[in-house]
Structures are given as C-alpha cells and as structure tokens.
Amino acid sequence: MSKTYVITGGAGFIGSNLAHTLAAREPDADITIIDDFRSGDFRNLEGFKGDLITADLSRVDLTPWFDDVKVDVVFHLASITDTTDHDQYRQCHDNIEGWRNLLGTFTSKKTRIVYASSAATYGIAAGINRVDQPQKPANVYAFSKVQLENLARQWSRSNPKQAIIGLRFFNVYGPRETHKLKASSMILQLAQQMLAGKQPRIFTAGEQKRDFVYVNDIVDFMLAAARADITSGVYNAGSGVARSFNDIVTNLNRVLNLNLPPEYIDNPYSFYQPHTEADLAETERALLTQPAFTLETGIDDYFASGWLK
C-alpha cells in the first residue's frame, strides 16, 4: 500500500535529498513538504511531484491540512540552520515552537516522527561523541536543538507508544546545499574557492578533525529510523570517522585535478568544535544500518553529481 510522508524543511539541503530519494524508491508515495523558504531553494525541488505547503511551522495552524489525513511518517528538518545567527529569540522561537506545533499536530495520530538534532549539542568537548555524554551547547542554535530533544523526551513519556526518533547529524555535505552559502559545508566552500583559482582558506593548521558525513548516508539513516523496530530515542548520524580539513583539501585537489596548497588563517570563533566523531554503536544496533561513504567516496560522488561547483 502506498504511504504518506511529510517532510518539513523539504526545500532545504537534506530535506530535498530525502524527498527525491523517497520519490525514487516509492513512486506511489504521497509526499508533502512544509517549508517557508527562509533558507530553502526551489531549485532543489526540480522534478519533485508532491505537494508543498509554504508556511512558517512555528506560526501556522496545520489542522486544516492534516485533520483527516493519515500520515505514516513525518521527517522534521525545518530549522534555522545558520549557526552564526545569534538572535536568541528567533532561534528558540522558530525552532522550538515549530517543533511543538508539529508534535501537537501528529502525536495524537500516532504518526512516526523522525527529527533532526545536531552534533552541535555536544559543544566544544573534543573526542568521540556518545549520545549519553552531557550536552554542552556553545551557541543558541545548538541550545535550540537540545530543547528539541528535551521536548521529544517529555512528549514520549506522555505518549509511550508514539515513535519520536531524533538523529544528531554531524557535518553533512553533498548535492543541493549550494543555496546555504556561508552555512554550506566546508567541502563545497573550499571547492568553490579552488575552482575560482584561489588557495583554499582553512584555520591554522588544518588538523582540526570533524565527522564529515555524505548526505546519501544521512538520508539512509532517516529512512532506517522510519522503519526501525524502536519507539523513541536519540541516535548519532555521522560517518563514524574524524577527518581533517587538510584531508578535504587533498581530496578536492584530487577530484578537481588541481594542486593548490591551503592558506592557513586564524580561527575567530570561540565556540568552534576542534574534534567531532560519531560513536555509531547504538545507531547501528537500533537502526540496523551503517554509513556507506568515506570522505573519499563521498567527495567522488559529489563531484560526479555535477553539484560541486
């Protein structure tokens, strides 16, 4: 039987990749996107054949659209995604109230909900990131994600049969992120500098390490969460490997057939994460899936897609 899906933030980077993959794998599925285009882009939805509700999730009454509709899974990706936006009211209001609105609309219907949290909730503590370690959000974006998890936990306690599954995405890169400009992945930003003939600018001395995860793997984590035999919880969604910014430059020089050395600059951010690395043991146990891409194969696939430009 064909299924019905809702994707909030579906005009954005990860949401649009999810929408296209779902449509390709389940051609009969009904897919509705909710997005207010504050950071999304219609170009990401070229070829998309589903419905689109253009609205701010934190301010819209969703009842008229979903009152009589059975939705199988809601994927919640809508969020302010610029981590350097320090407007505390805007980040908290829009991210948290949008989430509360969605929970209120769908919890009573027993719809499974898969939502995006972030590795930013771990803060600047270096090392391997395990879901049970204390959260230390270093900016208001990360704080709002902690609140999403708190609200989900509270909601799950009152609705034990309701599946509400959070995924802490690490640093995602891949096709359809071009619209994010300075909030796009360092893989795209450095590739654009190099394609313009400039040396790639990274913070001294390029050995800070991040868990860079290819967007196809993130889509697979979300789809695994949609079918997993679990109720509620929060899981890491990364590659499971920490790689340096120097590694990115090496791989970009390889696929772009260039030989541009990095230009090292001082890091102006006090909330910068020096090392992130997803511990995936719980994710693999509960979601029965694991990432398929390394940094090398992810950058190869990105380049082959034609979006790395």
Ligand X SMILES: NC(=O)c1ccc[n+]([C@@H]2O[C@H](COP(=O)([O-])OP(=O)(O)OC[C@H]3O[C@@H](n4cnc5c(N)ncnc54)[C@H](O)[C@@H]3O)[C@@H](O)[C@H]2O)c1
Residues within the interface to ligand X (CB under 6 A)? 9, 11-15, 34-40, 56-58, 77-81, 94, 98, 116, 118, 169, 171-172, 180
Q: Is the CB of 38 or the CB of 153 nearer to ligand X?
A: 38
Min dist CB 161 to ligand X, Å, is 25
Q: Is the CB of 18 or the CB of 252 nearer to ligand X?
A: 18
Active site annotation includes 180: yes
25: number of Cβ within 10 Å: 10
DSSP state of 275: B
Q: Is the CB of 75 or the CB of 155 nearer to ligand X?
A: 75
- CB-side neighbour CA atoms (13 Å) of 175: 21
Min dist CB 18 to ligand X, Å, is 9
3-state SS class at 112: strand
Catalytic, out of 5, 115, 141, 235? 141
CA distance linking residue 291 with residue 238, whole number of Å: 7
Min dist CB 307 to ligand X, Å, is 13
Q: Is the CB of 15 or the CB of 200 nearer to ligand X?
A: 15
φ/ψ of residue 126, rounded to 5: -85, 155
3-state SS class at 107: helix
Catalytic, out of 145, 180, 214, 235? 180
Min dist CB 146 to ligand X, Å, is 12
CA distance linking residue 195 with residue 211, whole number of Å: 24
Are the CB atoms for 248 and 212 separated by under 8 Å?
Answer: yes
Residue closest to ligand X, measured at CB: 12
CA distance linking residue 26 with residue 133, whole number of Å: 37
Q: Is the CB of 65 or the CB of 264 nearer to ligand X?
A: 65
Min dist CB 259 to ligand X, Å, is 28
Peptide bond between residue 205 and the one before it cis (omega within 30 degrees of 0): yes
59: number of Cβ within 10 Å: 12
What amino acid positions are annotated as catalytic residues?
A: 141, 180
